[in-house]
Amino acid sequence: MIRPVSPDPGPRLGPGPEFDRIREIARILGPRARGLGDDCALLPDGDGALAVSTDVSVEGVHFRLDWITPAEAGWRATSAALSDLAAEGAGPIGVLSAITVPQRAADGDLLALSEGIGAAAAAAGAPVVGGDLSTGAAWSIGVTVIGRASRPVTRAGARPGDGLWVTGVLGGARAALEAWRRGDTPRADARRAFAHPEPRIAAGRWLSEHGARAMLDLSDGLAGDAGHLAAASNLRVDLALDAVPVAPAAIAEAERLDLPVQQFAAEGGEDYELLVALPPEFGAADVLEFERDCRVALTRVGSAARGSGVRVKLAGRSLTLRGYDHFR
């Protein structure tokens, strides 16, 4: 029997100029597009799905070579793309890179950058299987990743009553960025968080296999990405900011900006940790098992409820957060 295909409702994303543009693109594409707005495109593959994502890192926007080395830029761009696979609970099977090289580039920079791409791919267990090379005004690193998920987890499955959890600690990458912006040298741990992020591939797969209902990576910060999960799952997210796990390097930077450390950490982007909705019965014993198997912390930072948007409280008071926005 042939079943009619229901119209794609389009991407359900949180607010912001970048995401307004995505909604407009989806409107223009109309029925020529499907499944936009998640971390990966999901293509049926036997009992599971192929997960495919692409991510672009642009010099002067996402990185500067007076801050990090070409090899670190390659690692960072590749890890950002691989993080999308982690958010779907997918294991990587291949990486492609498209690199724009400025004519002013020093001898050896392209090879060093390519070495960084290869190192990040190898650390995730995936070969580099192709790509493209061009020249332009600035460095640009486009990375496409392909993975396979037996139980893909999108942003859209959270239910009222679910707990919201994050892996690792937040705010380290922002701490490095704030130090560079004022002309200082970041702490070593902050610099590593920015230049050498680790996509949570094993954590994403574990969470997928243990009941995760919705998941995404924190590329735009907890403040922004919580709104995307809320919109995709058609519910409200309540964040208890007091519980947010803060990177040690973020504390001094938050004090310099006269911000609560949890707010500083929640508003920082590019931590590439995971935000995941788990059933209410997921508890302390499960956390211990996760942390033993994945060797990374898992912290409950809120819950899902009926409604819409994101509600944030810190020390019992309501707070408005801003996530990272490329177009602000």
pLDDT digits (tens, 9 = 90+) for 48-62: 999 999 999 999 999
- Determine the average pLDDT of the residues in 268-287: 96
Q: Give the pLDDT score at 322.
A: 75
Cα–Cα distance, 40 to 84 (Å, whole number)? 6
- Determine the average pLDDT of the residues in 291-312: 97
Identity at 181, one-letter amino acid code:
R
- Determine the average pLDDT of the residues in 5-25: 59
Classify residue 182 as exposed, middle or buried by CB count within 10 Å of its CB (0-12, 13-18, 19+).
Answer: exposed
- Determine the average pLDDT of the residues in 162-175: 98
Q: Give the pLDDT score at 24.
A: 72
Token digits of residue 127: 């070969």
pLDDT digits (tens, 9 = 90+) for 27-41: 666 676 566 566 799
pLDDT digits (tens, 9 = 90+) for 202-227: 999 999 999 999 999 999 899 889 99
198, pLDDT greater than 60: yes
Helices (H), the chain: 17-29, 70-88, 109-123, 172-181, 188-195, 201-209, 221-233, 248-256, 261-267, 284-294
Classify residue 185 as exposed, middle or buried by CB count within 10 Å of its CB (0-12, 13-18, 19+).
Answer: exposed
126, pLDDT greater than 50: yes
Token digits of residue 43: 């293509």
131, pLDDT greater than 50: yes
Q: Give the pLDDT score at 30.
A: 64
The percentage of the chain sitting over the pLDDT mark of 90, rounded to a whole number, equals 84
- Determine the average pLDDT of the residues in 118-145: 97
Q: Is 315 helix (H, G, I), strand (E, B) or coil?
A: coil
Q: Give the pLDDT score at 22.
A: 61
For each of the domains in the chain, give its residue range(s) and CATH number, in order of start.
39-149 (3.30.1330.10), 163-319 (3.90.650.10)
In this prediction the pTM is 0.89
- Determine the average pLDDT of the residues in 272-280: 98
